[in-house]
C-alpha cells in the first residue's frame, strides 16, 4: 500500500502547562475526506493548528508527502501544499474579496495558474464573483466562509484543512458548503475536516477519528462510525 499523504505519529501539544493533545496519531491518504469529530475543547482545532505549523508538537512526528513537517513555520507549510481554513473564518475585513483571494496565492508566481484557479473559485462560489469588490467585513457569515475557503484554495493545496466550516450557518447553506467540499475533493484535493456537525461530516467522509480530551478514542470507516451506538449517543443525538 502507498504511504499516507499525512501521517501524524504520537504527538503531544501543550499550551503552557495545559496538555491539549496527548499522543495523537492519525493518517490521511491521498484523495480522501477524513473527518475529526469531538466535543468542545477536545483538541480538534489544536490538531489542525499543529499540522499547519501554528503550534509545535513537543514530541512525535508529522510527515507530509514523505517529509517531517513538525515545527516547520506556517508560511513554509503552505508552500509544502497544506492550507487551512481557520475556525471563525478570519477573512481580512478591511480588504475586498479580490484582495483576500490574491493573498491566498501569496506563495505562487505562476500568473496563468493563479488566474485559472481564480476562475475555478468563482465557479465554486458564484456569490464571491458578484461581490469581488465588496469589503470582506461586510459579507454575510456564509459568504465569509466561502471567501475563507476560496482564499485557502488559491494556494492550490494538496491537503485542505477545514475547521468547522458549518459553524453558524443556516441548514440550507450548510448543505451547499458540504456539497462544495465534496466537489473540491472530487477535483483532486485531499480534505481533513473538523466538525461539530458529525452527521454531515460522516455523510461525506471516507474515514473518521473521534477525539476526546486530547486523545483519539475511536477511528474507522465513516459509515461504520455513523452506525456505531457509542458515536450515535455521544455525537449524533441518540
Residues that bind Mg ion (CB under 5 A): 44-45, 87
List 6, 11, 20, 34, residue binding ligand ATP (CB under 6 A): 20
Total residues in contact with ligand ATP, by rule CB under 6 A: 13
Q: Is 201 in the site for ligand ATP (CB under 6 A)?
A: no
| Per-residue burial over 101-126, b = 16 or more CB atoms within 10 Å of its CB, e = otherwise | beebbebeeeeeebeebbebbbebbe
Say which DSSP state 3 is in: P
The stretch near ligand ATP (CB under 6 A) out of 14-22, 95-103, 114-122, 168-176 is 14-22
Which one, 44 or 89, has the nearer CB to ligand ATP? 44
Which one, 46 or 121, has the nearer CB to ligand ATP? 46
The interface partner of residue 43, options being ligand ATP, Mg ion, none and the CB cut-off 5 to 8 Å by kind, is: ligand ATP
Complete edge-to-edge strand list for the sheet that includes strand 59-64: 18-28, 6-15, 59-64, 67-68
What CA–CA distance (Å, rounded) separates 162 from 181? 9
Lay out the site mask for ligand ATP across 34-73 (x = CB under 6 A, - = otherwise).
----x-xxxxxxx---------------------------
Tell me how many degrees the CA angle 167-161-129 measures, rounded to the nearest 5. Answer: 70
The stretch near ligand ATP (CB under 6 A) out of 13-21, 57-65, 153-161, 228-236 is 13-21
CB of 118 to ligand ATP, least distance (A): 30
Beta-carbon neighbour count of residue 63 at 10 Å?
A: 17
The interface partner of residue 26, options being Mg ion, ligand ATP, none and the CB cut-off 5 to 8 Å by kind, is: none
CB of 50 to Mg ion, least distance (A): 12
Q: Which of residues 75-104 bind ligand ATP (CB under 6 A)?
A: 87
Which one, 37 or 128, has the nearer CB to ligand ATP? 37
Q: Is 131 in the site for ligand ATP (CB under 6 A)?
A: no
Which one, 7 or 49, has the nearer CB to ligand ATP? 49
Contacts of 112 (CB under 8 A, 6+ apart): none
What CA–CA distance (Å, rounded) separates 9 from 19? 17
Closest CA to 82 of 71, 74, 92, 91: 74
Q: Give how far Cα 45 sits from Cα of 12, 20, 41, 88, 95, Å.
A: 14, 10, 9, 11, 26
Q: Is 171 exposed, middle or buried (0-12, 13-18, 19+ CB in 10 A)?
A: exposed
Contact set with ligand ATP (CB under 6 A): 15, 18, 20, 38, 40-46, 87, 196
Amino acid at each position: 500500500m502507498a504511504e499516507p499523504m499525512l501521517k501524524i505519529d504520537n504527538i503531544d501539544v501543550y499550551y503552557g502547562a495545559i496538555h491539549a493533545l496527548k499522543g495523537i496519531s492519525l493518517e490521511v491518504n491521498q484523495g480522501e475526506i477524513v473527518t475529526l469529530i469531538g466535543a468542545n475543547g477536545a483538541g480538534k482545532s489544536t490538531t489542525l493548528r499543529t499540522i499547519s505549523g501554528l503550534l509545535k508538537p513537543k514530541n512525535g512526528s508529522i510527515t507530509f508527502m514523505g517529509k517531517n513537517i513538525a515545527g516547520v513555520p506556517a508560511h513554509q507549510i503552505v508552500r509544502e501544499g497544506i492550507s487551512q481554513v481557520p475556525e471563525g473564518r478570519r477573512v481580512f475585513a478591511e480588504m475586498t474579496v479580490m484582495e483576500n483571494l490574491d493573498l491566498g496565492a501569496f506563495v505562487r508566481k505562476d500568473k496563468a495558474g493563479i488566474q485559472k484557479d481564480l476562475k475555478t473559485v468563482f465557479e465554486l462560489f458564484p456569490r464571491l464573483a458578484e461581490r469581488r469588490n465588496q469589503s470582506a467585513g461586510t459579507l454575510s457569515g456564509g459568504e465569509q466562509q466561502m471567501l475563507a475557503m476560496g482564499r485557502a484554495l488559491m494556494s492550490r493545496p494538496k491537503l485542505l484543512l477545514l475547521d468547522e466550516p458549518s459553524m453558524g450557518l443556516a441548514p440550507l447553506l450548510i448543505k451547499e458548503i458540504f456539497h462544495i467540499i465534496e466537489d473540491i475533493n472530487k477535483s483532486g484535493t485531499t480534505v481533513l475536516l473538523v466538525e461539530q456537525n458529525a452527521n454531515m461530516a460522516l455523510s461525506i467522509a471516507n474515514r473518521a477519528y473521534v477525539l476526546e480530551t486530547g486523545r483519539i478514542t475511536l477511528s474507522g470507516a465513516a459509515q461504520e462510525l455513523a452506525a456505531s451506538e457509542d458515536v450515535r449517543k455521544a455525537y449524533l443525538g441518540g
